[in-house]
Amino acid sequence: MDLRSHCPYWLLKNGIVHSYPSLKQQEKCDIAIIGSGISGALTAWHLARAGFKVIVVDKRHVGTGSTAASTALLQYEIDVPLVDLVQKVGEANALNSYRLCLEAIDSIGNICSIVEQDCSFRNKPSMQYASFNKHVPKLHEEFEYRRKHGFPVHWLSDEQVSKKFGFTKPAAILSDAGAEVDAYKLTHSVLQYCMKHYGTKVFDKTAVKHIQHSKLGFDLTDENGFSIRCRKVVIACGYESQQYLPEKVEVLHATYAIVSEPFEQRDFWHKNSLIWETANPYLYMRTTNDNRILIGGKDVPYTNATERDQQLKKKVATLERSFAALYPAMDFKTDFSWAGTFAGTKDGLPYIGEHAGQPDIYYALGFGGNGITFSAIAGEMIKDMITGKKNKHAAIFKFNR
Ligand SMILES: Cc1cc2nc3c(=O)[nH]c(=O)nc-3n(C[C@H](O)[C@H](O)[C@H](O)COP(=O)(O)OP(=O)(O)OC[C@H]3O[C@@H](n4cnc5c(N)ncnc54)[C@H](O)[C@@H]3O)c2cc1C
């Protein structure tokens, strides 16, 4: 599957962060993780720290799947508003999903501080504005509900939006909790740390062709016939994980992002918050630590990669126009643009854990706009599942829920 167009900003900015060998002999470990994106890296993190001998394997270069294309806003607010999620999955599960995402932001921040590499992690407020007047009542209901349940939110009137953000919108929710990161750099940093401190092995340019059950566990065989023998397998293949599942769990979209040339100024709006809106599909924005503005969104249903990429030019112009409508005085010049595919699910929540009929194979599928925070949750949960520790939230993200 072609996951993204060629030149996402993070890949160009960081280049080849580290190199890893391909598989050239038979290997053995406790747990093999297929996929070296942010999901594979964060799962390796938790499993390696729990004492398991882990091997991570990827058919591409490390981190160059969807992770390299990610715009990497870390939000506890998922694509489905909390009040709607309650209707879909019940109050307890909805609240716990939001709370787990909130904790995941801190967990990622903590990992960034342990790996001691600059992964551009910054805590940032997150602001969601009402795109239209008619969206205000629903947004206010969301605000009241979140406030009642202890989420760190503030209501902004049209005047406050204008004062803090410099554009005119009818109202907004301002959340204190959010963050941004460089997911590609974080992936490498986490894997490097695991290699150095826990003996984790990472092989890239190694496509797993067969997963075969044996008496001793599994043999994962690559296209050259080399294999990895392991007791358990983690599937962290991003949107290519669907191939291992008997039923369809993902809904694919094409999405687009642009990054400006660097600006002279450092401060663009209130604390350089993450910004998004209530319209669907939504526009979102963040800043980068080299004084650029990143804008994304304008999603459409995914048909194929050629069509997705053919629309890039048109989508760049649309994103630029949307930004200009908010900030007409800012001279936004697009420096980088790219298209990506991403998967959503029926309820906006990820799938984590074993699938019926596939024992000892664990899925870390952080599908949805919050893929990175979901990956952090998946890593921790899979570690609990494998170590036999009861995780009281595991049922929220199970298959066939
Ligand atoms: C444009 C864009 C913007 C986004 N913005 C955000 C955002 O702001 N915030 C957020 O939280 N999320 C965001 N996401 C989602 C987030 O980026 C993804 O959820 C996340 O990167 C997925 O990581 P992953 O490790 O699961 O998948 P990937 O990064 O795709 O990694 C999976 C890896 O598995 C490997 N693989 C697949 N099959 C095999 C095989 N058979 N053998 C070996 N290796 C295999 C692939 O090569 C790939 O490298 C965005 C996504 C896109 C595309």
Rounded distance from Cα 67 to ligand 1 centre (Å): 4
Give the pLDDT mean for 292-312: 93
Rounded distance from Cα 267 to ligand 1 centre (Å): 30
Banded model confidence at residue 189, pLDDT cuts 50, 70, 90: very high
Which of 2-16, 131-145, 159-173, 225-239 has the least mean pLDDT? 2-16
What fold characterizes domain 9-69+184-249+348-397?
A: FAD/NAD(P)-binding domain (3.50.50)
Q: Can you tell me which atom of ligand 1 is nearest the CA of 257?
A: 1
Q: What is the largest CA-CA distance in the chain?
A: 67
Rounded distance from Cα 237 to ligand 1 centre (Å): 7
What pLDDT, on a 0 to 100 scale, did the predictor assign at position 270? Answer: 98
Rounded percentage of the chain residues whose pLDDT exceeds 90: 93
What pLDDT, on a 0 to 100 scale, did the predictor assign at position 216? Answer: 84
Q: Is the CB of 170 under 6 A from ligand 1?
A: no
Q: Can you tell me which atom of ligand 1 is nearest the CA of 35?
A: 34
Q: Is the CB of 178 under 6 A from ligand 1?
A: no
Domain boundaries, the chain: 9-69+184-249+348-397, 251-271+279-344
Is the pLDDT score of 231 beyond 90? yes
Q: Is the CB of 34 under 6 A from ligand 1?
A: yes
Mutate to test the pocket of ligand 1, among 7, 9, 71 (most ligand atoms within 8 A of CB): 71
Per-residue pLDDT of 237-251, as tens digits, reads 999 999 999 999 989
Per-residue pLDDT of 49-81, as tens digits, reads 999 999 999 999 999 999 999 999 999 999 999
**302 Cβ neighbours under 8 A, 6+ residues apart:** 252, 253, 254, 308, 341
Rounded percentage of the chain residues whose pLDDT exceeds 70: 100
Is the pLDDT score of 1 beyond 90? no
Smallest CA-to-CA distance from 206 within 184, 237, 185 is with 237
Q: Is the CB of 172 under 6 A from ligand 1?
A: no
Give the pLDDT mean for 178-206: 98
Give the pLDDT mean for 92-96: 98
Q: Is the CB of 236 under 6 A from ligand 1?
A: yes
Banded model confidence at residue 116, pLDDT cuts 50, 70, 90: confident
Rounded distance from Cα 65 to ligand 1 centre (Å): 5
What pLDDT, on a 0 to 100 scale, did the predictor assign at position 168? Answer: 96
Give 5 or 40, the one with higher predicted confidence.
40
Q: Is the CB of 257 under 6 A from ligand 1?
A: yes
pTM value is 0.97
Q: Can you tell me which atom of ligand 1 is nearest the CA of 341?
A: 53
What pLDDT, on a 0 to 100 scale, did the predictor assign at position 278? Answer: 97
Give 214 or 394, the one with higher predicted confidence.
394
What pLDDT, on a 0 to 100 scale, did the predictor assign at position 36? Answer: 98
Q: Is the CB of 340 under 6 A from ligand 1?
A: yes
Is the pLDDT score of 6 beyond 90? no
Per-residue pLDDT of 122-137, as tens digits, reads 999 999 999 999 999 9
Banded model confidence at residue 192, pLDDT cuts 50, 70, 90: very high
